[in-house]
Structure 1
Amino acid sequence: MTAKWSAKRYFVLVVGIILVLSVFLSACSSEKEPEGSTGPIAVAPSDGGGKKEAAETVKPEEKHEPVTLKLVTWNNTYDDLYKKFTAKYPWITIEPIYPANGLDTSIIEKIAALQAAGTPADLTWLTDLSQYTKGGLLEDLKPYIEKDESLKSKKLPQGFFESFDNAQGQRYAIPFVDVPMWVMVNMDLLAKYGLEMPGNDWTYDKFRELAKAATDPAAGEYGLTNSGIFAQYFLSAMSVANGNSPNLWYMNEDLTQSVLDKPEAMNDVKWIQEFMTKDGSLPGNNKTKELGGSVGNFINGKTLFMIGGDFILEPLQKEAKFKFDVLPFPKGKVTQVTHHIYGPIGLLSSSKHKEEAWKWISFQFEAEAQKWKIDHGSNAFVIDDELKAYIDESPLWQGKNTEAVKMTKDMCCIGPGPTIPVFQENPFLSVADIILSGGDLNSLKPRIEAWNKKTLELRKAVSGQ
């Protein structure tokens, strides 16, 4: 009986071992990689309905050769933006190249010297577009814009890309920055003379009234800063706002002729000159010399108003000993306009890194770059609610009249200089000197006539018509 029981126990034990081994082998088999597999299998997440999607394949990071882009520019304040660009494209760095001055002749000379040395530049800022198209210096940007997928999602002002197209429809430059001009206000002087900050819909008559009220020669304080910038940007916009000039810089409808010699436009200039000759609120050059130049710079705190853009905002924020704010240009008899400076950038045809150079241009339209420009006093030219709201968040505009900043963004007009042949010889550039020196405005008329003839001849030569 004992032998029979032992056999039975032996049988049960063997069966049990077999069952355990079966379960163990089955488990090992289920964890084994399928035949031909070279690694773990990614399992796609469920879509909640039992259907599985194919797992995405992670592509290895693409390797790039280091590239240095040479950008010919006269502005030395963009270093932080260059760093932001390189953070996004680590293999690309920007090397700014500074010409002797901001004139196109100096820029073109620098471009030619770099090319002759075998180290051609890639990008350039410019002013007079016609000087660059004659030598085939620039690349047509239309093909780059058309294939740039990131730009297709960006909403831009109507005609933004077309703003620098030439007569043949070629796009050798596009804007990379929008610098609007404001009236800067010394709030301490406003309070000292018992004056109230006007609303954003103020008029040119109100501007003149406040400037006169804040003038006290005995204290060395004046309503207007003695600056040529005032005469150039403010006066030009006033002529458009009054309906006396179709475009900024006293240009006609199709930007072919100056209308500065027309009586209505000249009357606007004479009205401004009266700030010095009648009101005394504009010091003029002689009085400025007597005062040691203290009223020639708004940051000195001796003047109520100054016309300025991004180039004055940051220095004021850092150095001004008084509280300041901004206002839009006043309303004229017809409309209310400001002066936008669209900074054009071009891609040089001699560049050895055109695709990388285009990345820098395209980067200007990204939210990161747009916010950087708001922080430095420029407009965000991409139309976006987030960017508009950011004006209230920007450190530069804290405690300032941000509603003026927002409305200025959408106000007319754009300075048309780059598309006008021999723009840098336009007689309007002499208006400031004549006003501030008390000169004869009629002396401009023969110069305007000569310039109108020359710009038409050059326009015809460039177009080949």
Structure 2
Amino acid sequence: MKRRGHWKTALLLGIVLLFSVVMSACSGKNNESGGTPAPGSESAGTPGASASAPPSEEKHDPVTLRLITWNNTYQELYDKFHAKYPWITVEADLIGGADDNGIVEKTAALEAAGTPADLTWLMDFTPYLKGGLLEDLKPYMDQDENMKNVKLPEGFFESMEIGGKRFAIPFVDVPMWILVNKDLLDKYGLEMPSNDWTYDDFRSMAKAATDPAAGEYGLTNDPIFAGHFATAMAVANGSAPNLAYMNADLTQSVLNSPAVLADVKWMQELMTKDGSLPGNKKAAELGDSVSKFITGKTLFGIGYDAVLESLSKEAKFEWDVLPFPKGKVKQSTYHIYGPIAMLAGSKHKDAAYKWISFQFEMEAQKWKIDHGANASVISDELNAYIDQSPLWKGKNKSAVILTKDMGSIAPGPTIPAFSEYMWWQPWVSEVILDGKDPNSVIPLVEAWNKKTLQLRSEAAK
């Protein structure tokens, strides 16, 4: 009897063990197919379970992106991008100046050598579109989930589209401010103006702070006063619909109109009548003391990203910023949108697009604020960050925020032959800083207007 009972017990244990194995196998199959793990099993969280092990990191081949640019101040941002994408390195390929022809030549040379560039800064689409050198960014951006959640100013990307194709995007938004030497304000008994000051305020203060015997002048002899400041004034006065003296639909320059020429003459009188603007002849005699705001010898200068960093580190006097003054119609400042494009010949387009998309992430946006540019992305967090940025500590932060949304954006890439028209700056500079007859610009403007219309017509065929 004992032996028969032992046999029954062994048989029962065998059945139980077999049932356990079957159930365990079924449970394993359920886990593989996404089923819920059995409570208490290793795949439900027991240490050492293979199902809970993190996936192995995706491996990438190293990529070096070649960016053709005329600016070498972005290495820190390249490094931040590399920290996020360790397999991608951005290498700046510098050219001598902001010259689209030079970039096109460089692009062609690199492609011929079998080492094509991936990205480029540009000013005018015209020379690139002829050779089919630019990649349409719109398909990439339409599939970018991160970009779908970014809020940007109306028309931000559309300003760089032609025929439904987006050949570039604004890499950076560089605003301009009036720099104020607060030590000279005190010396000449002047008060810091409010942010809604006028061009008449600007002129009277500059004249009051001019004392040639002391080598001090109201205005820095900066060509930007003749270039960017003068065209912003034309917009503020209602003399021109757009910056760069362009008309409403960006097809013609109105620099040759009586209203604009009157504004240019007003600027010229800062030198010829008031003496607050030294002019090129006097500046040649006095040197850097009146040609650079950082010397502390001028009351007002022009501030933008490339100037502000050195000023914050090296100035020996107290300085601050103001928005450009109010004109007869509105208050407007000058913004530069730096276009960046992906080259069609790039062998690393996915990596190149990552660099483009990275520009609109918080880390990159805050870096740009810290270096004197605007945040392009509309965000309460970024507006609040201005208070935290070391660059703006103790400064007129309300002017910084006001300028962000105030004024006009410099037109450019979509206008045929715009890079040639950029010569309006020396045209106007010769009038304001050298005393040349304002009417001397008229034939130059008329010739360019004719050329840009002709190129526009040819492109439409």
Q: TM-score, normalised by structure 1?
A: 0.89
What's 1:459 paired with? 456
User: How far apart, CA to CA, are the structure 1 residues paired with 2:430 and 2:303?
Assistant: 18
Deviation of the 1:66 alpha carbon: 0.8
Kindly indicate whether residue 185 of structure 2 is the aligned counterpart of residue 190 of structure 1: yes
User: How far apart, CA to CA, are the structure 1 residues paired with 2:417 and 2:266?
Assistant: 28
Cα shift readout 1:272-309 (whole Å, capped 9, x = no counterpart): 11101111100011111221332011111111111121
Call closer, same or farther: CA 1:452–1:86 in 2, change over 3 Å.
same
* Structure 2 counterparts to residues 24-39 of structure 1, below 5 A: 34-35=24-25
Deviation of the 1:436 alpha carbon: 0.5
Kindly indicate whether residue 280 of structure 2 is the aligned counterpart of residue 285 of structure 1: yes
* Structure 2 counterparts to residues 301-312 of structure 1, below 5 A: 301-312=296-307
The partner residue of 2:131 within 132, 135, 144 is 135
What's 1:368 paired with? 363
Kindly indicate whether residue 289 of structure 2 is the aligned counterpart of residue 294 of structure 1: yes
Deviation of the 1:57 alpha carbon: 7.9
What's 1:217 paired with? 212
SS of aligned partner of 1:361: helix
The partner residue of 1:347 within 342, 364, 379 is 342
Kindly indicate whether residue 38 of structure 2 is the aligned counterpart of residue 43 of structure 1: no
Instruction: Tell me if the contact between 1:229 and 1:308 (Cα under 8 Å) persists in the aligned partners.
Output: no
Kindly indicate whether residue 437 of structure 2 is the aligned counterpart of residue 440 of structure 1: yes
What's 1:73 paired with? 69
Deviation of the 1:34 alpha carbon: 3.3
Kindly indicate whether residue 396 of structure 2 is the aligned counterpart of residue 406 of structure 1: no
Instruction: Tell me if the contact between 1:70 and 1:94 (Cα under 8 Å) persists in the aligned partners.
Output: yes
What's 1:431 paired with? 428
The partner residue of 1:147 within 127, 140, 143 is 143
User: How far apart, CA to CA, are the structure 2 residues paired with 1:159 and 1:349?
Assistant: 24
The AA in structure 2 aligned to 1:378 is A
Deviation of the 1:461 alpha carbon: 1.6
The partner residue of 2:114 within 90, 94, 118 is 118
Instruction: Tell me if the contact between 1:313 and 1:377 (Cα under 8 Å) persists in the aligned partners.
Output: yes
The AA in structure 1 aligned to 2:42 is I
Call closer, same or farther: CA 1:56–1:165 in 2, change over 3 Å.
farther
User: How far apart, CA to CA, are the structure 2 residues paired with 1:252 and 1:245?
Assistant: 6
Cα shift readout 1:423-457 (whole Å, capped 9, x = no counterpart): 23325221012211111111111111111101111
User: How far apart, CA to CA, are the structure 1 residues paired with 2:133 and 2:275?
Assistant: 49
Deviation of the 1:129 alpha carbon: 1.6
Instruction: Tell me if the contact between 1:128 and 1:417 (Cα under 8 Å) persists in the aligned partners.
Output: yes
User: How far apart, CA to CA, are the structure 2 residues paired with 1:228 and 1:443?
Assistant: 18
What's 1:52 paired with? none
Instruction: Tell me if the contact between 1:241 and 1:335 (Cα under 8 Å) persists in the aligned partners.
Output: yes
SS of aligned partner of 1:120: coil
Query: Based on CA coordinates, which of the two structures has the bigger radius of gyration?
Result: 1
What's 1:332 paired with? 327
What's 2:252 paired with? 257
Q: Which moved more, 1:34-43 or 1:96-105?
A: 34-43
SS of aligned partner of 2:43: coil
The partner residue of 1:233 within 202, 225, 228 is 228
5+ residue gaps, structure 1, are 1-17, 19-25, 46-54
Cα shift readout 1:356-388 (whole Å, capped 9, x = no counterpart): 100000000000000000000000000110011
* Aligned residues with identical type, % of pairs: 65
User: How far apart, CA to CA, are the structure 2 residues paired with 1:56 and 1:403?
Assistant: 52
Instruction: Tell me if the contact between 1:241 and 1:332 (Cα under 8 Å) persists in the aligned partners.
Output: yes
User: How far apart, CA to CA, are the structure 1 residues paired with 2:129 and 2:42?
Assistant: 58
Instruction: Tell me if the contact between 2:173 and 2:337 (Cα under 8 Å) persists in the aligned partners.
Output: yes
SS of aligned partner of 2:302: strand
Cα shift readout 1:251-285 (whole Å, capped 9, x = no counterpart): 10111111111111110000111101111100011
Instruction: Tell me if the contact between 1:126 and 1:344 (Cα under 8 Å) persists in the aligned partners.
Output: yes
Cα shift readout 1:57-100 (whole Å, capped 9, x = no counterpart): 84321111111111111111111111110111111111110123
Instruction: Tell me if the contact between 1:228 and 1:433 (Cα under 8 Å) persists in the aligned partners.
Output: no
What's 1:205 paired with? 200
Deviation of the 1:327 alpha carbon: 0.4
Kindly indicate whether residue 411 of structure 2 is the aligned counterpart of residue 421 of structure 1: no
User: How far apart, CA to CA, are the structure 2 residues paired with 1:232 and 1:124?
Assistant: 25
Q: TM-score, normalised by structure 2?
A: 0.89
Cα shift readout 1:213-250 (whole Å, capped 9, x = no counterpart): 11000001000011111111111011111111011111
What's 1:317 paired with? 312
What's 1:98 paired with? 94
User: How far apart, CA to CA, are the structure 2 residues paired with 1:428 and 1:264?
Assistant: 16
Deviation of the 1:409 alpha carbon: 0.6
User: How far apart, CA to CA, are the structure 1 residues paired with 2:24 and 2:216?
Assistant: 88
User: How far apart, CA to CA, are the structure 2 residues paired with 1:450 and 1:35?
Assistant: 84
Deviation of the 1:35 alpha carbon: 4.0
What's 2:5 paired with? none
User: How far apart, CA to CA, are the structure 2 residues paired with 1:293 and 1:88?
Assistant: 42
Deviation of the 1:126 alpha carbon: 0.4
What's 1:14 paired with? none
The AA in structure 2 aligned to 1:242 is N
What's 1:48 paired with? none
Call closer, same or farther: CA 1:56–1:270 in 2, change over 3 Å.
farther
What's 1:60 paired with? 56
The AA in structure 2 aligned to 1:34 is S
User: How far apart, CA to CA, are the structure 2 residues paired with 1:388 and 1:129?
Assistant: 32
Instruction: Tell me if the contact between 2:179 and 2:301 (Cα under 8 Å) persists in the aligned partners.
Output: yes
5+ residue gaps, structure 2, are 1-8, 10-15, 32-40
User: How far apart, CA to CA, are the structure 2 residues paired with 1:292 and 1:66?
Assistant: 49
The AA in structure 1 aligned to 2:24 is P
